[in-house]
Structure 1
Amino acid sequence: MNQLVEFNQDLVAELREECAETDLPLEDVAFDRLCETLEAEGEIETSDRCAYRGAASGKSLRIDGHGGDPRETDGILSVIVCEVFDDEQPPTLNAADAKKHFGHLINFVAAVRRREFRDQLHIESPEFGVAMMIAESWSSVTKVKLILVTNAIYSARTDAVVAGSISDIPVTYNIWDLTRLHRVETTGSKEKIVVKFAEDFGGGLPALRASGPESELPSYLAVIRGKQLADIYDKWGARMLESNIRSFIQARRKSVNEGIRDTIKGEPEMFFSYNNGLSATADAVDIEMDGAGAHILSAKNLQIVNGGQTTASLHAALKHSPENLDRVHVQIKLTVVPSESSEQVVPNISKYANSQNKVSVADFFSNHPFHMRMEGYSRRVSAPPAPGMNRQTKWFYERARGQYQVERAKLGGADRKRFDSEHPKAQLFAKTDLAKVELSFRMRPDTVSKGAQKNFAAFASEIGEAWAASDRKYDETWFKRLIAKVIIFRALEKAVPRQEWYPGGYRANIVTYGIAKLAHDVEKGGKVLDLDRVWNDQSVPEALMKTFLIACEAAADVITTTDSGIRNISEWAKKQGCWSSVARAEVAYDGGLEDFLIEPQDARAAERDGRREEAMISGIEAQSKVIALGSAFWGRLREWTSASPSFSMKNDGILKACSQQERRLPSERQCILAVEILGRAREEGYVDDEETPRIRISGKVRSH
């Protein structure tokens, strides 16, 4: 309980601080903050704020936000109520309280379907836009999700509980209370899905053990009925798809696969023969043996790493061909991967299972080399002291959720204070933050406005292709300029709500569009922003902030004046047409902007200088590592790579030089390449059983 209280105290303090900095109401700040977690966990695809309380036909109505247009979210209408208490001691929430909140949400959904109620709403209000979206998309809705997110403590766990129906459309409810938020935010582990095939979904799955007794990871070949798989997906939706695959599916899908759909409709008995099936993982499974063989009764944390399109198509068949689903059978290759090994193993399973994709789905994983490199810079590169400060700090990049809290929790007393001082929480940023900031400066505000998951998928696709072509540009200078962009983005998040012209909502859209607008106009003028200056200052100069706010005001005017036929401002901001309108807008910047612009060739020269300096440091570090690992180590690696077609004769020469270091020390360049070869080999499964193990003592690595 003490951990929960501490987590709540930190959360409330964080919310209060942002309220003071932005002048935004606590309810608005809390909604944005808590719904970030729901997006990261796949509960919702996006979170759009719409605060409304009222009454109709003698019933109380309430909504605090929604999860996007059902026509863009697989037919799921997610409506959200956010109940946050400004108390350091978390209160408790009982079933009656939850029922009341969900009742108000249902009343709102029911009311907006009536034209007489919609006609009472102000045409320019957020609630009118949401009401029109729900009414116009109702024919596409396949499920209504009622979501309560709160910093209160709810005694029971509720996860996609069926709550009835509205006009034959099923309704489920879900509570994200303080306990649940604490678990996913502080441990770094995903919210676990426990699928009880036998108990809840009509029977266990017939299976064959596909791995031998010597295998560290048990594997099974199983068969699941189409109706079972569709019902399971109906309960948990995209949370069943490993989070990175979910992003990939959402970014690339156009519609339900026509071939799969036609097979379900016309030849359901042939589905097993025609379809490649699924690849899935689970933390653990419950197996029962009987005269007919093995049956999988349940699976803990079942995640589909390949076959998302098949799963979504079968789910869609619940609506268009439900009578055929019992005749559909799907094969599953299920690997049991303990949670402590999942980060290393699951990406490889997904990588090889999805090899047909042009951009490997593994590009989305937290251990992709891009994220590993950014993490390395964030732990090594110290930022200059911020104004009024006398010590350097670091920007902590969280490539895997919960890393910051996990690292901090390991420490105690003076060590934790030093960690907090060196890595202030205000300088924590995650993969989705990186994607949001970077695509804003790449002039993709419409994509950013689609929500964290879809935006990250678009960013990862771009980075995956660029990295495959050359990873050279993603160096220390790139990292420093990324941090400069984060500084600008966060400064605008605080400054925009304080402006007289601020419309009282849509802060996130205004910030990304304002940044994109200024970046567009600067590029059109043949110049680039001097981001190195922002990095060196660790703040946004007042004159530059004024210029960005001019761009944000122009963006706000366009965003809040929707195109004909679009009543919902949040949805308008997700359209390419909105960005085109902002890009075309004429903006009069004051003369101060010129002081922060440089020629492109000057920016490139700074990149080259930084690369030379970094290469000197990297070369020394690599040489030290090669020597520390020793000749025998590199000899064993050379023997392993010689049998693999992935490694060239040049690679062999590098490893030979390292394996003969007693005769002649390899050059810094050779050592850098040797370390890169080692990394590639480990990605392909290389393990040196004779390597001296290392343990961490007092912050230093010692060999034993």
Structure 2
Amino acid sequence: MITLEEFHQDFLQSILSDADSRGLMKPQAFFENVCEELISTGDLTKNYENADYSKKGLEAHGFDYDEERKILSLLVHQFFQSDEIETLTKQHIETKFRRLESFYIKSVNGLHSKMEETSEAHNMAYQIYQWHEDDKIEKIKLIVFTDGKATRSLLEMPSKNLDGIKVEFRVIDINYLYQIYLSENTNGIFEVQTDLSYLLVNSDSDEYKSYLSCISGDELAKIYDDFGQKLFEQNVRTFLQFRGNVNKGLRNTIESAPTMFFAYNNGITATATSVEVENNRIKKIHNLQIVNGGQTTSAIYAAVKNLKQDVSRVSVQMKLSVVKDKEKQSDFVSKVSEYANTQNKINKSDFFSNNPFHKEFKSHSKRVFAPASDGAQLRTHWFYERVRGEYLNEQAYLTPAKKRQFQLEHPKSQVLDKTFLSKSENTWLQKPSIVSRGAQYSFKEFADTVTNILEKDNLAITEKYFKDAICHAILFKNVEKMVSKSSWYDGGFRSQTVTYSIAYLAYYIDQQKKFLDFNKIWNMQSLPHILILALEAITQNIYQAITNPPEGHANISQYCKKDFCWDLIKKMNIQISLEGLLINKEEEQYSKKRAKKEKRLDTGIEIQTFIIQLKLNEKLKLLEYYKKDNEISPMKIDILQKYCLGSLPLPSEKQSKILYELYSKAIEEGFCIRVD
């Protein structure tokens, strides 16, 4: 098990590496990393923005606004960047909260009118002012981020009222971040206090227990008010407001027939890592996840908050399954989400966490060596971190010598997580307005794109695809660093400048019906000089364009989220040279065909190996399963039967593929084949 001290060291190294490779100030890298962690846990929404502001008595580093719950979160950090874990004192905390509260008060009184309109801080102050004027703030959270450790008494600070608005104080310290890491690699980090009667469903399974219960509308609304998106981390859908017929039906039932809600509604399906029972009642639920029924929960909450309705007479049935094994819990959630009689259509991309893309991309990251660069002799890997904390977790039980070897072969600067990958990929696909909307929007778009690609071509994620994607990431990181160090850069809107600049480069090349030769970037693991010169010209022009928006678009952050902004950027005529860096369509197509041919060969060998290694009991279970299936062709059943009886001791590649398809189909249909 990784200790808190080990986690702190790894976390600090991540910040320093991120800052160096992307050209960020260390506190800014710290802020962004913590925000991404808090989005994953539901503590922040996908709408968070960074915006540094520091004057005498005032300080803020960013904000977040939860539109559904009308919660404004103001963010500030205390980054010690020390090798040892520092103690966050009472004076530290009180000073930070006092400055943050003063910034809020000044903002609602028009602070933005005294600020530079093109700054990110102006956007933050103006948004706060506008939300306050429109009466859209029902709760304020003042949050301090720190890489230090606060005592428990300082973490539990009482709330207060400010002009009739509830103000809560939170400290996110290194221990909280450590608990997030543990939750993603062991068990959950939060518990829901409740008092529910239940019926334990008899089950022979040792893997999970199921409880049937009923929860009142007001209690469900309170739980959502307390925990927000934490309850839906593994839910494949998002709430669709009251737009669809189903949601209108929910609203109408709550309004006119609340006592009939139980009869009309399917209720919610939830999972937990454990429950605490006392006197035949459920008192605590650890790591509660609502995997089906998110709309039901949000509809009841919206009825309370937006329509001011009494939902105490609303009763919601709840099916709660306790799945102790973390790995099995993920699979269980996926199956529940997929098989449940859902009320609105779920896109296939919503199951992206189980998409074969991750397995294939991870396989390439383990197998493909990056060329040695800068005179280094050691070849390294790019580490694909599908789950946060995976890089650290792989080192958990290594000896000190093996750990040093692992870190040399997988340097911190070459760790690539799926969120950053989605940004760099969407940027090269010329979707800068999507990237500017935030990491979660970008990731959803990336999931859609990859799902569509794999539906059309299951061989699409080749070694060439992997290398090109790494080159996109190298390009993105280098442009981030370039913008930060440029003499013309006044600060602010760096992320928007980066994504629009690279997207413009991709568009410029497309217009010439050419392709960038990514082999040159891959072999160097950096950018060729002529490409750097081209990007220096592009970034300066793009920065000037987006920070001087057309009339009626004074809010630069919002302007960059619009397709209209991208349409204007594409009309720019920036003079650049890419001599020696472009290849024609025929060369690109040849490279793709060759990569698919190589992958087809590798895949065929892997499938044969998998089929040969199946145990006899597993083969017989598979045959028994398909004997009852009239839709499977007799030819396929014949191959399976011969293989089970031993008359086909070594199936050919083609036969192995048929057997693998039968195996995969049975698994997808929920049949358990594997035996211990």
Q: TM-score, normalised by structure 2?
A: 0.91
Quick check: 1:313 aligned with 2:299?
yes
Given residue 628 of structure 2, which amino acid in structure 1 is its aligned partner? Answer: A
Output the CA distance in 1 between the equivalents of 2:273 and 2:252: 34
DSSP-derived class of the 2:354 partner: coil
Q: 1:417 to 1:495 in 2, by over 3 A?
A: same
> Residue 437 of structure 1: CA displacement?
1.5
Q: 1:360 to 1:642 in 2, by over 3 A?
A: farther
DSSP-derived class of the 2:208 partner: coil
Output the CA distance in 1 between the equivalents of 2:616 and 2:21: 57
> Residue 408 of structure 1: CA displacement?
1.2
DSSP-derived class of the 1:92 partner: coil
Quick check: 1:235 aligned with 2:226?
yes
Superposed CA deviations along residues 43-84 of structure 1, whole A, max 9, x for unmatched, are 2124322111235xxxx22111112x554x652222101110
> Residue 499 of structure 1: CA displacement?
1.4
> Residue 38 of structure 1: CA displacement?
1.8
Quick check: 1:332 aligned with 2:318?
yes
Counterparts of 1:241-640 in structure 2, within 5 Å, are 241-245=232-236, 248-249=237-238, 257-289=247-279, 294-340=280-326, 341-353=328-340, 358-360=345-347, 363-364=350-351, 366-590=353-577, 593-629=578-614, 633-640=618-625
> Residue 641 of structure 1: CA displacement?
3.6
Q: 1:426 to 1:22 in 2, by over 3 A?
A: closer
Q: 1:271 to 1:600 in 2, by over 3 A?
A: farther
1:395–1:428 contact (8 Å) kept in structure 2: yes
Q: 1:209 to 1:327 in 2, by over 3 A?
A: same
Superposed CA deviations along residues 415-434 of structure 1, whole A, max 9, x for unmatched, are 22222222222211122122
Output the CA distance in 2 between the equivalents of 1:429 and 1:328: 46
Given residue 282 of structure 1, which amino acid in structure 2 is its aligned partner? Answer: A
Equivalent residue, structure 1, for 2:103: 108
Output the CA distance in 2 between the equivalents of 1:211 and 1:280: 17
Equivalent residue, structure 2, for 1:180: 176
Output the CA distance in 2 between the equivalents of 1:528 and 1:157: 59
DSSP-derived class of the 1:385 partner: coil
Output the CA distance in 1 between the equivalents of 2:209 and 2:117: 58
Given residue 159 of structure 2, which amino acid in structure 1 is its aligned partner? Answer: A
Given residue 265 of structure 2, which amino acid in structure 1 is its aligned partner? Answer: N
Equivalent residue, structure 2, for 1:666: 651
Superposed CA deviations along residues 105-155 of structure 1, whole A, max 9, x for unmatched, are 22211221113x333223333222211111112322333222211101012
Quick check: 1:127 aligned with 2:116?
no
Output the CA distance in 2 between the equivalents of 1:620 and 1:19: 42
Given residue 9 of structure 1, which amino acid in structure 2 is its aligned partner? Answer: Q
Superposed CA deviations along residues 357-408 of structure 1, whole A, max 9, x for unmatched, are 5444674453332212222222222233334233332222122222211111
Which region of structure 1 is more displaced relative to structure 2, 332-341 or 559-568? 559-568
Output the CA distance in 1 between the equivalents of 2:233 and 2:294: 9
Equivalent residue, structure 2, for 1:164: 160
DSSP-derived class of the 2:103 partner: helix
1:387–1:539 contact (8 Å) kept in structure 2: no
DSSP-derived class of the 1:500 partner: coil
Output the CA distance in 2 between the equivalents of 1:595 and 1:457: 35
Q: 1:47 to 1:550 in 2, by over 3 A?
A: farther
Equivalent residue, structure 1, for 2:55: 54
Output the CA distance in 2 between the equivalents of 1:186 and 1:558: 44
1:350–1:361 contact (8 Å) kept in structure 2: no
2:23–2:482 contact (8 Å) kept in structure 1: no
Equivalent residue, structure 1, for 2:213: 222
Structure 1, unmatched stretches of 5+, are: 198-203, 692-704
Q: 1:264 to 1:446 in 2, by over 3 A?
A: same
> Residue 167 of structure 1: CA displacement?
3.4
> Residue 214 of structure 1: CA displacement?
4.9
Output the CA distance in 2 between the equivalents of 1:578 and 1:376: 38
Q: 1:543 to 1:401 in 2, by over 3 A?
A: same
Q: How many residues align?
A: 669
Query: % of aligned pairs identical?
Result: 32
1:153–1:178 contact (8 Å) kept in structure 2: yes
Q: 1:599 to 1:689 in 2, by over 3 A?
A: closer
> Residue 260 of structure 1: CA displacement?
2.6
Output the CA distance in 2 between the equivalents of 1:253 and 1:434: 30
Output the CA distance in 2 between the equivalents of 1:638 and 1:158: 62
Superposed CA deviations along residues 279-322 of structure 1, whole A, max 9, x for unmatched, are 11111112344xxxx53222000011122222222222232333
2:81–2:147 contact (8 Å) kept in structure 1: no
Equivalent residue, structure 2, for 1:200: none
Output the CA distance in 1 between the equivalents of 2:629 and 2:536: 56
Partner residue of 1:144 out of 137, 140, 144: 140
> Residue 608 of structure 1: CA displacement?
0.9
Quick check: 1:37 aligned with 2:37?
yes
DSSP-derived class of the 2:159 partner: strand
> Residue 606 of structure 1: CA displacement?
0.8
Equivalent residue, structure 2, for 1:65: 62
Quick check: 1:3 aligned with 2:3?
yes
Structure with the larger RCO, 1 or 2 (CA within 8 Å, 6+ apart): 2
Output the CA distance in 2 between the equivalents of 1:35 and 1:374: 26
Given residue 171 of structure 1, which amino acid in structure 2 is its aligned partner? Answer: V
2:224–2:301 contact (8 Å) kept in structure 1: yes
DSSP-derived class of the 2:613 partner: helix
Superposed CA deviations along residues 490-528 of structure 1, whole A, max 9, x for unmatched, are 222222211122231222222111111111222222222
Partner residue of 1:155 out of 141, 151, 157: 151
> Residue 342 of structure 1: CA displacement?
1.4
Output the CA distance in 2 between the equivalents of 1:480 and 1:616: 19
Q: TM-score, normalised by structure 1?
A: 0.87
Output the CA distance in 1 between the equivalents of 2:71 and 2:156: 13
1:387–1:538 contact (8 Å) kept in structure 2: no
Output the CA distance in 1 between the equivalents of 2:156 and 2:323: 25
Output the CA distance in 1 between the equivalents of 2:26 and 2:368: 35
Output the CA distance in 2 between the equivalents of 1:445 and 1:642: 52
Given residue 385 of structure 2, which amino acid in structure 1 is its aligned partner? Answer: E
Given residue 75 of structure 1, which amino acid in structure 2 is its aligned partner? Answer: K
Output the CA distance in 2 between the equivalents of 1:194 and 1:362: 30
Given residue 110 of structure 1, which amino acid in structure 2 is its aligned partner? Answer: I
Partner residue of 2:75 out of 69, 80, 103: 80
DSSP-derived class of the 2:384 partner: strand
Output the CA distance in 1 between the equivalents of 2:308 and 2:353: 38
Given residue 401 of structure 2, which amino acid in structure 1 is its aligned partner? Answer: A
Q: 1:685 to 1:40 in 2, by over 3 A?
A: same
